[in-house]
Structure 1
Amino acid sequence: MRITSPEFEDGEKLPEKHGYPRENTSPELEIEGVPEKAESLVVIADDPDAVEPAGKIWVHWTMWNIPADADRIAEDEAPGIEGTTDFRKTGYNGPNPPDGEHTYYFRLYALDTELDLEEGASREELDEAMEGHIIEEAELTARCGRLS
């Protein structure tokens, strides 16, 4: 399984329009090779580099129950149910790290079920619901520095 973006290559800079306080829109993501057994997909975007200043991995986006036959997630679209981020908001919340350049991870999970979670569920609730249901996963990284 693979997750890519037509807007940036793995490890490259995230276009500034996807950051906060710019347009703050989620990037377009392309999906390939989803296992036939998959019933749904999950996307999680987070920032492990935030552990030093924030004391935890900072969650920028969670979305689940994306149809397993999806081959792309268009910019600023949510074909699934979105959870609450560390910004205390649902939906995508773009990067603008307070210190230097951070690496952001867009992780894609193929699950053998749909999740029974309400909109606005936390990352912890999502992780717990996914436990034992992950068939395959893939990741895409992007870098972003302070936006002024």
Structure 2
Amino acid sequence: MASEEFRLVSPEINHQGRLPRKYTNEGQGAKKNISPRLEWYNVPEGTKSLALVVEDIDAPDPSGPIVPWTHWVVVNIPPTLKGLPEGFSGKEEEIGGDYAGIKEGNNDWKVPGWRGPKLPNHGHRFQFKLYALDDEMHLGNKVTKERLLEAIEGHVLGEAVLTAIF
């Protein structure tokens, strides 16, 4: 019997869970901030929109403890979509159609869209977390992870998590 669990996957993140170099800002084969393809399954009933937060959950703060570093924030993804195509970041208006209403928020570099990692050391875990929400988010022009997490409180119908290593 197939699992009915709300799931998030990326066909390019292989079975060892590695984030391919082409989605980073590092070394030969790296391209410029290409967002990975994502697919999701079994969106909870009653979902009105989806939101995505991608963080390096092992990022060290130079002055202290490990503090997650936000690489991508995406809000108001229609629940009728089954995923985001590779290279989606920065192109939602070009792609148009059902993608046109999607909004990318600012990452921790203070710019909208996907920013691939370039790390001083490897082995960091990148957490892709997709939230199924019972409403659309109206966060104004400046969407951030903090504003999103505050706004979705009490509106989360389900979460799907994908972790990749870089």
**How large is the RMSD of aligned CA atoms in angstroms?**
1.6
Corresponding residue number in structure 2 for 1:108: 130
Tell me the TM-score normalized by structure 1. 0.90
Residue 124 of structure 2 aligns with an amino acid whose one-letter code is H
Task: Provide the identity percentage.
Answer: 39
Contact 1:4 1:10 in 2 (8 A): no
Corresponding residue number in structure 2 for 1:74: 85
Q: Which runs of 5+ in 2 are unaligned?
A: 1-5, 93-98
Q: Which runs of 5+ in 1 are unaligned?
A: none
Query: Which among 37, 44, 50 is matched to residue 41 of structure 1?
Result: 50
Residue 123 of structure 1 aligns with an amino acid whose one-letter code is K
Residue 57 of structure 1 aligns with an amino acid whose one-letter code is P
Q: Whole-Å Cα distance in 2 between the matches of residues 10 and 115 of structure 1?
A: 33
Corresponding residue number in structure 2 for 1:92: 114
Contact 1:83 1:90 in 2 (8 A): yes
SS at match of 2:164: strand
Displaced runs of 4+ in structure 1, greater than 3 A?
51-55
Q: Which has the larger radius of gyration?
A: 2
Tell me the TM-score normalized by structure 2. 0.81
Q: Whole-Å Cα distance in 2 between the matches of residues 73 and 13 of structure 1?
A: 19
Give CA deviations for 1:32-83 in whole Å, capped at 9, x if unaligned: 0001200000111001100354752100000010001110110111432111
Q: Whole-Å Cα distance in 1 between the matches of residues 75 and 111 of structure 2?
A: 16
Query: Which among 9, 13, 21 is matched to residue 16 of structure 1?
Result: 21
Q: Which has the higher strand share?
A: 1
Q: Whole-Å Cα distance in 1 between the matches of residues 15 and 40 of structure 2?
A: 14
Q: How many residues align?
A: 144
